[in-house]
Amino acid sequence: MLKKLLKIFNIKKIFFLIILTISFQNLSWSDDIKNFQIEGMSIGDSALDYFSETQLEDNYNRFIAAIKKVFTGDRLEKLLHMYSPDELGNELAMAPASGKLNFHSAYPGGYIDHVMNVATNAYKIKKMFEASGGHINFTDEELLFAAFHHDLGKLGDGKEPYYLPQTSEWHQKNKKEYFTHNPKLQYFDVTDRAFWLLNQYGIKYTQKEQLGIHLADGLYNEATKKYWMGYRNWKIK
């Protein structure tokens, strides 16, 4: 069945599909556990009251180890600098991936869990297609770069965080919203801020990596729709 599908779709153009498919899934088994813990958080509580500093540090180290495994040379050095504690590292360790419990990974450290899940599962899907005879015209590194950085804009701008703890008890109880957007942060959509941050740290990216990051937002982002609509003219082989 899969081989038949491969004949229908032009596999070399599914880069955006892999990222999109994975980005909005709650793939971590730990989500339920951590979300349950967050249900008990009160206004003004510190994340460290619920997640130990060791847990957050271990999660951060897991992410850094993955970066070191995938990237090399000057690119790796610049990524490690961007994610160092003096730069975006503290926000990386603490940031949630979303603000509401009915969304993905809405807990301190959830950002890392989310992007690691996206990267891991996108890589598995790519290998599945390749093993089934599909041809994909992007590298493992390009796929993983897009997966690791598709939500980079949620780490703020280096001075202001993207998310702040929700201080409204009503929103916590009725909307299940435990984090809210920081009004002090200059408005950008997440994708635009991701590219801004990469540029600030001198991290270059290929056209395919840029496209993968753009398309991860799917149709939720008006700016992304033009990329999606551009694929209407794909030729089926």
Is residue 223 domain-resident? yes
In which domain, by residue range, is 73 found?
Answer: 14-24+49-233
Q: Which position has the higher pLDDT, 180 or 237?
A: 180
d(CA 94, CA 8): 43
Q: Which position has the higher pLDDT, 164 or 209?
A: 209
pLDDT of 172 reads 82
d(CA 175, CA 169): 10
pTM of the model: 0.77
d(CA 27, CA 114): 8
Is residue 3 domain-resident? no
Tens digit of each residue's pLDDT (9 = 90 or more) over 8-29: 344 444 455 555 454 444 433 3
pLDDT of 56 reads 87
| Two tokens, residue 107 | 């807990």
Is residue 30 domain-resident? no
Closest CA to 168 of 177, 160, 156: 177
Q: Checking DSSP bridges between strand 163-165 and strand 179-181, what pairing results, if any?
A: antiparallel
CB 206 within 8 A of CB 200: no
* Tally of structural domains, the chain: 1
Q: What is the mean pLDDT of the chain?
A: 78
